[in-house]
Structure 1
């Protein structure tokens, strides 16, 4: 499950194992990866119906009160795009070539009309009414095109923890981010290192 607090960056992830934590992957397209994925990631699947996709939209970095018209076909298309993004992100993080099939899925989604932004009566950024699932997924896919062909493509990384597969783009100035979140995998690494040092000293 994902959720976003309005005054805190990142998405609040609530894995089945417990221990909610906040995770900012640094890009809209990578936020979609928090909803599950192919293979062993299927156990984290949350996109079961249109309502679930709308909850992800509300939790994502998309600004404004976006409520696209979504049906079961749109949910299936979102899962297909997400799985392709997983393949591309993992390949990039490990320095491998992207699967042309995954690239084709993203390019096809990006070719559709995207969400149309507008300035609301109060001066805020809003979305034109009548948004569709296709427009939503096109916007996500175009964000992926920007990421994987842009200056931060070499900073797409997988969490440094051996048991975490979350992917993020390191947008920090020094470019030294290692963990999905310090409050989760970063702290766990510190605890393991601390225990290892004490164990070595006791020998």
Structure 2
């Protein structure tokens, strides 16, 4: 990822559905919008955790549907991160997308896995929505977190063994927190003597 200042840092939200949240969102998140045309959604899919080789065609309606589901996922994820009950209307939006057939898979001649040709934006969105249903309705649903830094709203699934991950990235927000904490400590009057 890249911050507003252009600094790059590693960030793994832990789930495909949470990766989609990095493309923009509702309200103040609209300033981060990157899904302007159908090709942008196809480009996101190639950069996502989905394996390579996805032959994807996206139309305007599928792009609009992806933004709608993404915005619903933002609210659902934030609700889960803060212990609030998710909005049934938003859950229904994601469920409707999940009801469409997902991306198809097939065997390659050597027995490997590949995407079936002719994938659509609707199938991609279904795959993302199904991932969301599995995440929020599964055992890690209560491990969705929002970065603990005041000015960062990145959402992630905490897959750490103790379940105490606080920051989107140790390289970015975690390090900033440690620096602030260190600087806020009172100077040791006996230091240097």
Q: Same fold (TM over 0.5)?
A: yes
Residue 74 of structure 2 aligns to a residue in which SS?
Answer: helix
Q: Which has the larger radius of gyration?
A: 2
Counterpart in 2 of 1:158?
146
Structure 1 gaps of 5+ residues are 1-12
Structure 2 gaps of 5+ residues are none
* Aligned residue pair count: 189
Counterpart in 2 of 1:50?
38
Once the two structures are superposed, the pairs formed by residues 179-198 of structure 1 within 5 Å of their partners are 179-197=167-185
Judge conservation of contact 2:69–2:94 (CA < 8 Å) in 1.
yes
CA deviations 1:30-60 (Å, max 9, x no partner) are 0000101110101111011122111210111
Counterpart in 1 of 2:187?
201
Shift of 1:202: 7.2
Counterpart in 1 of 2:50?
62
Judge conservation of contact 2:146–2:153 (CA < 8 Å) in 1.
yes
Distance 1:136 1:42 in 2: 22
- The alignment status of 1:117 with 2:101, answered yes or no, reads no
Shift of 1:118: 1.2
Distance 2:44 2:4 in 1: 17
Moved over 6 A (4+): none
Counterpart in 2 of 1:102?
90
